[in-house]
Amino acid sequence: MRWSDTAYLISIISTKENTSLVKVFSEYHGCYTGLLFGSSSKKKKPDLQLGNKIKVHYNSKNEDRMGYFSLELIENNSIKFFNDNIKLNLLLTSIELISKVMPERQTYDGTFKDFDAFIEKLESDSLKPYLLWEFNFLKKMGYGVDLDDLELKEKIKDLIQGKNVDFLFDDLKIIFDLNTQIITDGLVDTINISNFKNRLKILKYLNE
């Protein structure tokens, strides 16, 4: 079984000397886990940072056995956002959410393009694109809510739907709280919200 795809690196765990267990979020194959040899080399380490966009090649003897990855860097997002603590944290929060919520080897229409668009918007903005991406990602994973059923101001609903409206940080806090409730209600067995430390930092940014 062989395939190649565009992906984001969302998890890497060293298993033994010079070998790591790697998880990627790919465009046409969803989340996939495999082994990567040579991961501790100084040459490869800059490429193997969480959130980096990569070209991934996967090779396995059959579908039931874990295969092996080879990776090529497309875009070093960890370096791009390194000097901006808020944006770097939002990047790490987003990939942690994907890793926790998206089932392995399943694809969901539009999720990769949505994430691509979020990363692009993150270059010029921060909290708003993250919170809107998070709401829509949860919805595509089956944890969405019908905005018509919620007692929200029309401005908040328009904001969530991506319409160009003026907003305040307090409006973003409402969306943060809504997403938190969705995670708490629907993903209680998957995510301990109190231990989701990267995401908790977002509330700190909203309160500053």
**Tally of structural domains, the chain:** 2
Q: Between the CA of residue 128 and those of 14, 29, 119, 181, 208, what are the distances in Å?
A: 34, 28, 12, 18, 15
Q: Are residues 49 and 12 in the same domain?
A: yes
Segment 28-37, tens digit of pLDDT? 999 999 999 8
Q: Are residues 95 and 181 in the same domain?
A: yes
Segment 127-146, tens digit of pLDDT? 999 999 999 999 999 988 88
SS3 category, 152: coil
Element (H, E) at 111: helix 111-122
Rounded mean pLDDT of 32-51? 86
Range of the domain at 70: 2-76
Is the separation of the CB atoms in 138 and 114 below 8 Å? Answer: no
Q: Are residues 23 and 94 in the same domain?
A: no
CA 91 to mean position of chain CA atoms: 7
Q: Between the CA of residue 20 and those of 23, 45, 100, 176, what are the distances in Å?
A: 10, 11, 19, 34
Q: Are residues 58 and 159 in the same domain?
A: no
Phi-psi region of 173 (alpha: psi -120 to 50; beta: other; left: phi over 0): alpha
Segment 147-189, tens digit of pLDDT? 888 888 888 998 888 888 888 889 999 999 999 999 888 886 6
Residues in CB range of 151: below 8 A, 6 or more apart: none
- Residue 42 above 80 pLDDT? no
Q: Are residues 171 and 190 in the same domain?
A: yes
Q: Are residues 201 and 152 in the same domain?
A: yes
CATH number for 56: 2.40.50.140
Q: Between the CA of residue 24 and those of 29, 48, 67, 181, what are the distances in Å?
A: 10, 11, 13, 27
Model confidence at 64, pLDDT cuts 50, 70, 90, reads confident
